[in-house]
Amino acid sequence: MNMVDIINYICIISASKPNPLCQILVSAMSKTLKKILLVAAMVTLVGGTFTGIMTYSNIGFGDAFARQWALSFVQAVCVIFPTSVVVMWVMHKVVETLFVRLSSLHKNLIFGFGMALSMEAIMALSTTYRNIGLGDLQQFSQAFLASYFMVLPVALVFSPIVTLLLKPKMEAFLAS
């Protein structure tokens, strides 16, 4: 039973006829739940794909892969969420300041590529730290660069797709 079902149940018990307040609450909960699920799906798709590629780069496919991938994904999400807010704010300010005369399409593409470069670096650091550790800095550095350069082409292809197609639709949906 989810929150919407609970509110529906309470509304049915509390009144014999439909209550407008209950209907508004159910509608708001449904929209909020859909927004949360959309964001969670995007985080899982993008974060899962990228940490999977990076984990493969760090340790290859083996018995420990699934466990390390899951742990790397959870750690990356915990690091990426707070960091991405700051990076997006800074990146937006930099793009708007340096590229004043460019069209919004060009600014969005530059923003998307900048986010891909910076966020993949942060995710590669997090994933490599989780999989390799800092015991041997030379090994860590090599593993970090290998995982970063392995996932970067995927991120650079994914970036314009997200920037041009998904981001406007997601922003409109999340604003509703």
Residue-range domain boundaries for the chain: 43-175
Q: Are 118 and 91 in contact (CB under 8 A)?
A: yes
Question: 162, 42 in Cβ contact below 8 A?
Answer: no
Name the more confident of 86 and 9.
Answer: 86
Question: Which of 122, 49, 128 minimizes the C-alpha distance to 90?
Answer: 122
pLDDT tens per residue, range 19-46: 666 566 556 667 777 777 777 787 788 8
3-state helix/strand/coil string of 65-76:
HHHHHHHHHHHH
DSSP code at position 162:
I
Q: What is the pLDDT of residue 105?
A: 86
Looking at residue 28, its pLDDT comes to 60
Predicted confidence at residue 1, as pLDDT, reads 54
Question: For 102-139, what is each residue's pLDDT tens digit?
Answer: 998 898 889 888 888 888 898 899 889 988 989 999 99
Crossing angle (nearest 10°) for helices 104-131 and 65-98:
150
Whether the per-residue pLDDT at 17 is higher than 60: the answer is no
